[in-house]
Amino acid sequence: MKEKIVIGSRARSRAPEMIKLLEEKGYKLEMNPFDRTMTEDELVECIRGASGMVAGSDKVTRRVLEEGSPTLKIVAKQGVGYNTIDIEAAKQLNIAVTITPGANSQSVAELSIGLMLSAARNISSMDRAVRCGKWYRHTGTELGGKILGIVGMGHIGGEVAKRAHAFGMQILAYDVYPRQEFIDLYKVRYVDLDTIFKEADFVSLHAPAIPETIGMVNASRLQTMKKNAYIINAARGELIIEKDLCEALKNHTIAGAALDVYSSEPPIKSELMEQENITFTAHAGAYTHEAIVGAGVMAAEEIIRVVSGEMPKYNVIK
């Protein structure tokens, strides 16, 4: 009997290269049939009897994992954020949870720089104005010579630093583990979190959503920022208390923001939508052909390892 692998990611996130790898191993693939994230009930129905799962933005709850046990050996996440997976339940059920570090780093970093440029020049606002027949020019600011504060200097934060250095920006960084090569090559200066928010002209978030980081961008921190500063978030929506950011934008406590992620997605009826000094994208950081192929292949390789009885390379469960 063929091993069953559930592909939770929707069609646009499935690389043919990933599917080919799994099919060549003789696995029976059960695909997400919807152009959306599957619900808990839908996942419960298809996870029964599966040996592995490729997860996209799916919420893999305790109930889903329990329904998959004891056959389920691995949940392979396409990406690095695993806050949608119940890690404690997976640990108790002896199910590996893996990620794909580095696969989408360049894609997310490039979008982050794009958001930074859009915020600095208010590109989205001018686009809307021209479409409506108005000839509105926004007086923006250059990136060269400005201070960029990067919160989280992992794979993605490092790629942002490389690109920001090319723009002539000064780079401050906050991370538990400073990387000497970035100090040497890109003149990155590691500082504490409060210094980032006080001194940076742009703050770009690249931290995971963990208890220590959730809500780190709040009213008190926003009050310490420069009035001409911008917040960029292509990491996790939970890092920002959105009502506090909304007040800061409304009162011009800071100059603007650009967001790719939100506390609730999609952000329906958010007061942030009423503000002019903010740019939005639809959690699209990893949505490039290259990133989808890279993450898909890495996830498939992890499934093949674990289902074959080998140890995974990128298990987040310790």
CATH number for the domain spanning 9: value is 3.40.50.720
Active-site residue (options: 10, 236, 242, 302):
236
Looking at residue 1, its pLDDT comes to: 64
pLDDT tens, position by position, 1-54: 689 999 998 888 889 999 999 999 999 999 999 888 899 999 999 999 999 999
Q: Active-site residue 138, yes or no? A: no
Give Cα 29 distance to the centre of its chain.
26
Task: Tell me what pLDDT residue 266 has.
Answer: 87
Give the residue numbers spanning the domain of 110.
105-280
β-strands 170-174, 189-190: how paired?
A: parallel
Q: In this predicted structure, what is the pLDDT of residue 170?
A: 98
Q: Please tell me what DSSP assigns to residue 303.
A: H
Q: What is the pLDDT of residue 36?
A: 87
pLDDT value at residue 73: 97
Residues with pLDDT less than 50, the chain: none
Q: Is 101 exposed, middle or buried (0-12, 13-18, 19+ CB in 10 A)?
A: middle
- Find how far residue 283's CA is from the centre of its chain: 7
136 shares its domain with 40: no
Q: Which of 23, 45, 142, 265 is catalytic?
A: 265
Q: Which pLDDT belongs to residue 294?
A: 95
pLDDT at residue number 151: 98
Instruction: Supply the pLDDT for residue 82.
Output: 87
8 Å CB contact between 225 and 245: no
Provide the token pair at 32. Answer: 């997400």
> 298 and 185, same structural domain?
no
Report the residue count for the chain. 318
Contact indicator for 136, 154 with CB cutoff of 8 Å: no
Task: Report the alpha-carbon distance of residue 23 to residue 19 in Å, rounded.
Answer: 6
Exactly one of 138, 189, 283, 305 is catalytic; name it: 283
* DSSP category for residue 276: S
Claim to verify: residue 9 and residue 150 sit in the same structural domain: no
Query: In whole angstroms, what is the distance from residue 184 CA to residue 81 CA?
Result: 29
- 236 is known as an active-site residue: yes
Residues 112 and 186 occupy one common structural domain: yes
Number of compact structural domains in the chain = 2
- Whether residues 246 and 130 fall in one domain: yes
Active site residue 23: no
Note the Cα 18 to chain centre separation in Å: 21
Residue 312 lies in a domain: no
Kindly state whether residues 95 and 220 are assigned to the same domain. Answer: no
H helices of 54-179, where?
Answer: 62-68, 87-92, 105-121, 123-131, 155-166
